[in-house]
Structures are given as C-alpha cells and as structure tokens.
Chain A
C-alpha cells in the first residue's frame, strides 16, 4: 500500500503515524509545501474528550503532547470593567509548533517519509491520496467533492503574546468605532494565543483596512494594553482575515480522501479546528484497519462516523461566529447575564450542564436574577409587566378569539385554561373560513364566508380571493373585543399572515407605509385596555422577498414605541409557501435579537420542551417569558397482568 498525504499539519502527520502503526509494510509519504519549522498561528486547544482519543490512538505522542500542555479549567470574561469567572471547563492547549515537532519526530521514528518544500501540482500517483492541506486545499481541486465556501463571523487577526493568561479569556473593549473583543488562552509556560475580532464596519471605521501589519499590531496592543499587562503582541504573518466556512458534499472521490480543514472548518471562536482534524485522522485510520485497506468501504465508514459530529460542531461554531458578530447589541446586559449569554451562545452549554460544571456560577446567576441570595433558577423567577405579576416565566397560557365573525378561521369555542391567560385578539384575514385544524390547516370550508386582506391573492391552494378589508369595521371590532376581554395579558395578532400580519409584509401589501393600519389598531386597543398588551409578530417571513429579521426588529421597535409591552416572537406563515427552518427552539435566536436589539420584552415558544431550555433562554436574556410545549410523557402506567401469565396460573 502506497500512501501520499498532502499537508504536514496535525491531521496529516497524525494520520501518517497511525497508518504506519497499522501497517509497517505501507509506504507513507507526507508532502508539505512549507519548511519543517514554518507554522502559522500560535497555540491550539484540545478538550478532555479529544485527549482520551489521542491516548488510545497513540500513547507515545499523547505522553509527549500532554507533557508540554498548558491546562486550565477557567473561563474569564472581562467586560465593562468587571471580570467574571466560570470554572470546570477543562481546557488544554499546546504550541502548534511544538505539536508539529512531536508529530514529525514520531513520523521519522516510524519510517514515514517527510518531504518539505514540495508544491503539489498534480495528484501524486499513489494507491491512496489524502488531502490534509487545509482550508485552501489544492487536493480538493483534483476531485469532485461538492465544496462550498462561505464567510462567517467578523474580521479577526491571530497574534501571540508573552503575557501568560491563566484562563481562557474573553475581553471586550468599547471604542469610538465600536466594540472589539479578544479571545486569549495560554499554550505553554511562556506564551498565549491572542485573537482580536471586530465586525467589519468597526474595522473600517478604525482604519484597520488601511493599516499595515505593524500598525494594526500596535493598534491592538494599545487597545488591549490592560489585558496584556503591558506585554507585547507578536505577529506571525498576522493579517486581518475573514473566516471561511467550508463544507463538502462528500469527503472522498475515487482513491482521494480529505480531512481536517480541507473537509470542514469550524469558526475559531469555539476552538475546535485542530481537534476535529486529529479526530478525523483517528477515525479514518480505524476505518482503514477495520476494512483491511478496502478504500471505498473505509471512506464510507469514516464519513458515516464523522459527519454527524462535524455537522453539530459546525452548527455550534456558526452560532458562536454570529454571536460575536452582533456582540454590541448585548452591551446593555448586566455583566453576569452577559457572561451567561456568552457561555451558552452556541447551544452546547445550558443552564443545567453549566450547573454541573460550575454550580457557583449558576447560583450567582440565579441569585442575581431572582434578587435574593438563594434563588430558584431563572424560569422560576417572578416577572412584572405593567402591574401584573407572573410568579414564573412559563405559567402563561394562550388562547385566541376572533374579533368578528368575518375574522374567524372556523367556528370555534374557547375554553378558559388554567393559569395566567394571554388572550389573543385575532382576525384571520385571508386565512379565514377554513376547516378545523384537527383535519389540516388552511383547508377552505365548502361553504365559507368572504375573506379580506390587503392583497388579492388567496392564502393557499383553493383559497378564496380576498376582498378589500373594511378597516374601520375591523378597527372597531378589535377595540370592542379589547373592551370585553377578561385576561391577564391581551395580545393583538400580527403574525402568521392573519389580517394585521398581512399588512406588515411586502409579500402581501404593496402599500409604502405597511405599519399604518396595524399601528392604528395597536393605539386604539392600547387606549381601550389598561393591562399588559402584547403583539404576536412574525419577525421574519422566511422568504427572500419578505421581511427579514432586521425588518422584524424595526417593526418590534415601532410597536414598542406605540404602546406594546411584550413581543410574542413568531416567524413565517405570512404566505403558505415560505421556507421555514424548523428545529427545537428555532424561535429562540430570533427572540434574542428582537429583545436585545429592539429592547422590548419578549415571549417565545418554538417547541421548547424542557425547563432547562426555559432557564437557559430566560437566564441568558433571550426572552422574558416562554411558552413550553410539554410532550405527553408516560413515565407511569398501570401494570396489566398479561394473558399468558394468567393462563399459566390457571393451569397451575
């Protein structure tokens, strides 16, 4: 077996080691463009889990790697003159240069041929060719991998410093140009990695687009002088970059297989790139061993094993990248909540899992949130809204009532549920006159009634053509219903393509001032109702020509200014053929943006099924109130004596 590995980064070298261990008869070559001691970046981070995998795969290198490790369990968040610490996170890091030295040495020991200064201009003629040549992989160009490259996150630059941090440190600095942040961690006894990041407009405003390497280093050094304790930053071709998110439809083509960054990247802000790459090597080597060098079968095993894990990591990394891109919108949060929001940004840490790692952190958050030294978790904390006290964040139950016969979806009865009632005043608009939801949604009644909307198009297939709304009558109906309402919270329905929702969207209203009528209704209901007033809003239409989240935030802001106390965050259904993105908690990220950018309290559902989700969402300031979807769980049922046993007894 003849193997050519292109790229002498951690993934390529580690694979070479494992393949030679697997088969001493295999001829393994590693081809590298650069010199043996050339390296980019400073330190790389590993988790405990990865270390375990490295120990099992090759104890010799594991020993050397862990010997030179920096280890720590703290995350420090330096924000608005405060430093918050969270413990129990178990990080390890090593100088990338040192890691490569260890792996190169082990390669030589095992008889791997290392060739440096080799440009790969065509595919090497080997039985197996491995592309371990990074995000800008050349090998990838010789096959059909279905590569997609997109940019994510903010501008960033990678430095080293001789200030040795004693924790993973996130630092934030406000400037006249906007907010900068740094990610710093130690990687040996002398040095730390120091990455500076800011959104592109901030970067331009600060003139960084025109500065050379030395000037931008000096700028960053001065900006974070406090964090660096007067120490220096070091450059290693440290230029400002955009992070490329790379995905491939497949990771193999013929006898060529790709791994690490060549196959998939994960934004640096969750520090998983090297770890994913080395785990790829372990998985691929194990598959080749199991399949006895049957390449096609091994490649399939490798992809099947790695894909789900890589996809989850890439999703989390994208969430994290987007979070740091909009970091300025969180600057109104109290430091402890800001820190909790940061720690839970990618969805991998929740209130409950953080509580296991670092009970004192969640206790501090809970007591800040509850306003008492010992407080229950955030979802159990009371909430006041315009004179109404909610004993917790999930006791609200919703119910809807049509304001007029014309505005019904179908003839329905309302039962008053237990709990604090949020009563939604709705007018179905062009979604009216349909069969009951138990059968389906938007199925027209055989004999219905005329429906109205600011558009002439029916809502869905076989729907009636809407007539022009009688705005005065609709307005009066909302006001009259508000006058008669008995509920803790009154809500006006402006979501899901119902009458007022269809006014708000460019997909269904050609008017320039699309807020005109919805705001009139809001103001009139506000005048007729003294208690808390909510608006249910589709904050995005999930359609390229419809309202985007930025539009939804602007609408939420206008609603707040006209007397709305609470935005009930929904998305889509403005038209029947939108492109929704369903998953657990799919509305949470939208609610986060509405709450923190429009600065209005929010209520959010979106298939939240656990109290842990509620605690995380509320604790992190992504919403104020939640609607839980509690699935029917059967944890107890009567024990039925089975027939067979009974018959046996009868015979006995």
Chain B
C-alpha cells in the first residue's frame, strides 16, 4: 500500500500555470460569447484569462473586456497580454488599470508594451515616436505612486509585466515590473527571451526572479479559419504572418509539446489564445490539456 505513495514521481521543474485568451480580437465575436467564455474559463482549470490590444481592427478594448470579465468571474487573473501603454494618457491608463483591479477584487495582471503598428497610433491621434520613453514614464507612474494616490482606486498589488524584445524593453521590465510578457513562438524563442529577462533582472539588482509569461495560439475546429485569422491579424508584419500562422497549435499533441517546452524553459504562466470564436474550442483545449 505504501508503495503506491512512494511511486509518485518527483517533479523537477515547477509546473506552468495555463491561462486562456478571450477571443476579443477574433472578428465578429459577440459580447455574450466573450462573457460565457470568461465564465467557463473561471469554472475550468485555467488560472488566467488574457486579452490583446489593437485599435484599428474589429476587436474589443482590453480594459473594457476585462472589466466585463471581472463581473462574471471570481477566481482567474485578468491579464492584458499586452496593452499598448503609450496609446493612452498616463493618468487614464493608470485609472483604467486601477478600475479593473478594483472591480475584480485585485486580480489584474497589467502587461504593457510599446506596440508595433503605427496605424493604431495614428488612429488614436498619438505620436508613434517617443513611445518607449512614454511607456517608461507610465510604468514609473503606475508603480511609483508618484501622484500621491490622487488618481484612485488603489493600484496596490497590480501585477505588472512588460513585453518586447529590445534591450530597452528588458531594462524597463527589470526596472519597473514584476515580470516579463513574451510575444509567443516556439519554446526556444521563449527560452532565449527568458534568459535575457533574467540577465536584465540581475543587472538591475532586483531581488528574486521575474515572473515569466508566455503565449501561444490554438485552433481545433476550423483550423483553416484560425490560420486565416492569424494571417490577417499579423498582416502588418509582412512575411512573419505566415510563420505565426504556421505556429498555430492545432492538435492535443501540439498543445502538450508546447506546454512542456515552455515549462522546461521556466515559464510561470502560459496563456493560450483562440483563433476562432467558437465556444467549443475552450472545451477542446481543456481536453487537450487533461
């Protein structure tokens, strides 16, 4: 009888938490679907729900979507993966983040980055140039409480992540944030970025380790439609759109390999984003992860 206990395997690496994306950037996704998605994710095995950010697209505004998700969930973390900070004024960004944090009982993970598309900046009427500097100011403002808490509700305990692959991005992450938000891709790409994030963390003299968040895309049902969505969503990257579509995880096996690869690379939280807005996809993801 006791042998049944000792035969349990000893895990050498910490287990990665799995989050799921809301299909807020899949064109045509209806509001009630997004809420049902969030509700089921909260009831399921997922530890977070994530959203993306884009202005010029048929997509939902991330903080608004997370505020709605906050109302139908009790447990999961609510994560922007990432939100484009410099599109918003600093005080309003802080206010939006603090509001979601407050509405959700302290469940916000605020991933921020500079954004890659000039058309979003044009549409928002914001200068694209100087976006890195502005993101630095926003991070210092949100984390540093430099306004003396005049812009409430309280921002205490907001988990902040920074994304991006440039030297300054890693440096901003290590200076102001709690962790790093990677932009997806094969596990070795994540491992490479994680190594840089850890080096930056050490360089800035931060105690402990940064939280490492990764992401990926999946489709089980209409795979062609999912691939087409990724090609369209990433058309602005030119030839990379095809590579991103080629990385769409379309089988249980692919999901398992991806999760294992990220786990081995030290990922703390992996958020898997749907590429079609079908509620069945959520259950099929759950089955694939089981």
- Closest Cβ of chain A to B148, distance in Å, is 6
Q: Is the CB of B140 within 8 A of A461?
A: yes
Q: Is the CB of A441 within 8 A of B205?
A: yes
| Interface residue A414 (Cβ < 8 Å from any Cβ of B) | no
Q: Is the CB of A441 within 8 A of B5?
A: no
| Interface residue B284 (Cβ < 8 Å from any Cβ of A) | no
- State the majority secondary structure of interface residues on A: loop
Q: Is the CB of A584 within 8 A of B195?
A: yes
- State the majority secondary structure of interface residues on B: helix
List A residues 220-271 near B (Cβ within 8 Å).
249-250, 252-253
Task: Count residues of A near B (Cβ-Cβ below 8 Å).
Answer: 57
| Interface residue A491 (Cβ < 8 Å from any Cβ of B) | no
List B residues 105-145 near A (Cβ within 8 Å).
132-133, 136-137, 139-141, 143-145
Partner of A579, one of B146, B167, B238: B167
- Closest Cβ of chain B to A413, distance in Å, is 14
Residues from chain A with a CB closer than 8 A to the CB of B143 are: 439-440, 443
Residues from chain B with a CB closer than 8 A to the CB of A544 are: none
Q: Is the CB of A250 within 8 A of B144?
A: no
Cβ proximity bits B237-273 to A, threshold 8 Å, 1 near / 0 not: 0111011001100000000000000000000000000
Residues from chain A with a CB closer than 8 A to the CB of B168 are: 577-580
| Interface residue A304 (Cβ < 8 Å from any Cβ of B) | yes
Binds B, one of A25-33, A171-179, A635-643: A635-643
Q: Is the CB of B132 within 8 A of A462?
A: no
Q: Is the CB of B199 within 8 A of A583?
A: yes
Q: Is the CB of A443 within 8 A of B203?
A: no
Residues from chain B with a CB closer than 8 A to the CB of A443 are: 140, 143-144, 146, 176
Q: Is the CB of A446 within 8 A of B145?
A: yes
Most chain B CB neighbours (cut-off 10 Å) among A250, A580, A586, A652: A580
Q: Is the CB of A461 within 8 A of B203?
A: no
CB-nearest residue of chain A to B148: A446
- Closest Cβ of chain B to A189, distance in Å, is 42
Q: How far is the CA of A390 from the CA of B137 in the complex (A)?
A: 44
Q: Is the CB of B5 within 8 A of A641?
A: yes
| Interface residue B233 (Cβ < 8 Å from any Cβ of A) | no
| Interface residue B151 (Cβ < 8 Å from any Cβ of A) | no
| Interface residue A125 (Cβ < 8 Å from any Cβ of B) | no
Q: Is the CB of B175 within 8 A of A440?
A: yes
Q: Is the CB of A607 within 8 A of B207?
A: no
CB-nearest residue of chain B to A299: B242
Residues from chain B with a CB closer than 8 A to the CB of A250 are: 238-240
CB-nearest residue of chain B to A605: B202
Residues from chain B with a CB closer than 8 A to the CB of A296 are: 242
Cβ proximity bits B46-73 to A, threshold 8 Å, 1 near / 0 not: 0000000000000000000000000000
Residues from chain A with a CB closer than 8 A to the CB of B209 are: 631-632
Binds A, one of B6-14, B24-32, B75-83, B215-223: B6-14
Q: How far is the CA of A582 from the CA of B198 in the complex (A)?
A: 9
Q: Is the CB of B140 within 8 A of A462?
A: yes
Q: Is the CB of A580 within 8 A of B176?
A: no
CB-nearest residue of chain B to A606: B199
B: residues with CB less than 8 A from A are 1, 4-6, 8, 10, 12-14, 132-133, 136-137, 139-141, 143-146, 148, 166-168, 170-171, 174-177, 186, 188-189, 195-200, 202-209, 238-240, 242-243, 246-247
List 8 A-B pairs, Cβ < 8 Å: A250-B238, A296-B242, A308-B189, A440-B143, A580-B167, A580-B171, A582-B197, A645-B4
4 closest pairs, A vs B, by CB?
A: A443-B144, A250-B239, A607-B199, A461-B140
